Structure formats: structure tokens, C-alpha cells
Amino acid sequence: MNAIRLEEPGRLALISPEQTAIGPGEALVRVHRIGVCGTDIHAFKGNQPFFSYPRILGHELGVEVLEVDPAIKHIRPGDRCAIEPYNNCGVCIACRRDRPNCCVNLQVLGVHTDGGMREELVVPARKLHPSSSLSLDQLALVEPLGIGCHAVDRTKVEPGEFALVVGAGPIGLAVMQFAAEAGAQVIVLDINERRLDFCQKQLGIPHAIDASKQDPKETLNRITAGDFPTAVFDATGNPQSMANAFAYPAHGGRLTFVGLFPGEITFSDPNFHRRELTLLASRNARPADFTRIISLIEAKSIDTSPWITHRAGLTEVVTEFPLWTKPETGVIKAMIEV
């Protein structure tokens, strides 16, 4: 069995790990698609929180069930599934309050434990979400969509309000998708002209701000007729962007950090208090989000086909992955085919 392991920052290797037999409540799956996400890229660059080396990356997965504990009834061999990659303990304060996405003892595939950048993988069967109609590409994109879905739900986006999304990478795209579904007037802010153009042409986002050419506050003031957005999401994981984001919400607005940075963020407390802002963190997604997203894609309410811009086979990843980390390559979403 082949797998790709990140040995240390900047160095990937093709390895042949031993396969583990399934135990009670588990399933063996054949991995067919692996989406490359910001977490993988941050780990490659050496700035991903909660991460240790070496590690097999990969948690955006489209898989086929090969074998399953006979006691499990919701899946069977041959089923194609998305994987919920968040292994939670079920007994901590967060789990008891239906917040398994921020479990005290959370173990995320490809971050805390070895992930799915391999040919076969053993997972808890309860983390498999089947679909009889979605393609393997679509199943691999359910997890990143879940990040956006949870962030929008957590922020309680309302119809008609202005929602600003800072960062037009895949997670930002997911946030935009669900903010638009909630009825918000979506604004995207980035410094990459190609990504801003993608958001407007492929996702139909009405307002785009190129922060390399436009003053964000002046442009937001114009778009919102002086009100400013009442919901702001930062999906960059960039400390300067996250600090700047405190200037964008309206009085009484909400700021949600979807991106993650391994350090401290500072802000002006008087300015924060004067506008009585609500600051939120959004982490991962919940099981119901996966079910909802699969239903939305099956109903063609969400089209993920424009997202995938680059592809490679598993054995090509060692040479292709470093290229995907470079903005000039124009990557929106890279997909590994196994």
C-alpha cells in the first residue's frame, strides 16, 4: 500500500505503511479522492497549529467501503462515502453539549493522527456518510463545505444582511456558498485578482474588493451605504488580516474567525467595545452538517464542479504538492486521485 507522509516541513515522501485490521465499529475504506486544503499547506510550510511530524496528511476524502463490522447497519461494502475526519471522545463537556467539533480530546485525521493520503484507511464507521449519487470528487469536498456551513450557522447569518468574507481560498468559498444560501448580500475581500474573478463569475458573488488596489474600509462604506457588514468572516489564517478584520464589522456586528493562526492576535479594545462587537471562533463541522451538505449537492443546490483546478495521482504528489503552495500556479482546489 502506498501513502504520502510529510516527514518534516517542506519534505514529502512516498512510503508503504502496514494496514491495520478493522475492529468493532470500524470500516476499511479504499481512498479514491483526497482534497488538498489549507491545513495541509500550512503543515507543509511548518506553521500549522496542533501538528507534529512525521504525519500522513489528508482529511478531505472520497472513499469506497471495502469491509465493515457486521454490526454496523448504515453502510455496507461498495458504498461511496464522505468521511467526517473528527474523532471525538463522546464524554467530555463539549461532546456532552453536542459540540463534538471542539471536543477536548479531538483527534483530526491528517493533523493529530495519520490521515487519508494513502490507498486504504481504517476509520470508525460512524464517521462515514454515504451517498448513492454523488461522485468521488463531490464526496471529497463535503468536509471543506462543512467548515463554511458550520461557520455560517454559528454566526447566525440573516437574510438581507451584508456578510463580508475575507479570503477567497476554498474555506472562504465554502463560507460564501452558505452565506449566500442564508440570503445574505455577500462581499468577498482578497488580494488575488484571479480568485476574486472566480468568486464573481463562478459563484455569483455580487461584490468583490481587491485589497491590493482598493481601500477596504472606503469600499465597504460605499457598498453598504455607510452601514458596514453586520457579519464578517476571516478565512485567511493570516495574523495581519485577522487583526485588520476588527475594523470591518458594523456597530453591533459579529466577527468570526474561521482561519487559524498559531500565535496571538491583538486589537483595540475601545474600538471593540464602542461597537459592541461579538467575536466568534468556528472550528470544524458537526455531523448534521455532513448530512445536510450531501443532500444539498444531491439536489444540485450546490455546484462544486468549478472548484477543482489541479489534479495529480498519489505517486505524483511529492513533486506536484510544492507547486500547489505557490499562488502563481492559480490553485483553487487541488485533488489527488488514487
Residue 18, pLDDT above cutoff 90: no
* Residue whose C-alpha cell is 500565535: 263
| pLDDT reported for residue 282 | 98
Q: How confident is the model at residue 49 (pLDDT cuts 50, 70, 90)?
A: confident
What's the mean pLDDT when you consider all of the chain? 96
- Distance set, CA 243 to CA 248, 281, 333 (Å): 10, 14, 26
Q: Which of 247-251, 305-309, 332-336 has the lowest mean pLDDT?
A: 305-309
Q: The dihedral of CA 120, 122, 127, 129: what is its sign?
A: positive
Partners of residue 190 on adjacent β-strands: 210
pLDDT at 261: 87
Say which residue the cell 486589537 belongs to.
267
The pLDDT value recorded for residue 19 is 81
Rounded percentage of the chain residues whose pLDDT exceeds 70: 100
Q: Is the pLDDT of residue 132 over 90?
A: yes
Has residue 262 got a pLDDT over 90? Answer: no
Taking 90 as the threshold, does the pLDDT of residue 272 lie above it? yes
Residue 68 contacts residue 61 (beta carbons within 8 Å): no
Query: Which grid cell sits at 240?
Result: 495581519
Residue 22, amino acid: I
Query: What pLDDT is stored for residue 56 in this prediction?
Result: 97
Angle at 76 between CA 71 and CA 81, to 5 degrees: 120
Query: Where residue 28 falls among pLDDT bands split at 50, 70, 90?
Result: very high
pLDDT in tens, 79-112: 999 999 999 999 999 999 999 999 999 999 999 9
> Into which CATH architecture does domain 3-141+307-337 fall?
Alpha-Beta Complex (3.90)
Q: Which fold, 149-281?
A: Rossmann fold (3.40.50)
pLDDT value for 305: 87
Residue 159: phi and psi, rounded to 5, are -60, 135
Q: What is the DSSP string of 219-285?
A: HHHHHTTT---SEEEE-S--HHHHHHGGGSSPTT-EEEE-S--SS-----HHHHHHTT-EEEE--S-
What are the boundaries of each domain within the chain? Answer: 3-141+307-337, 149-281
CA atoms lying within 13 Å on the CB side of residue 41: 21
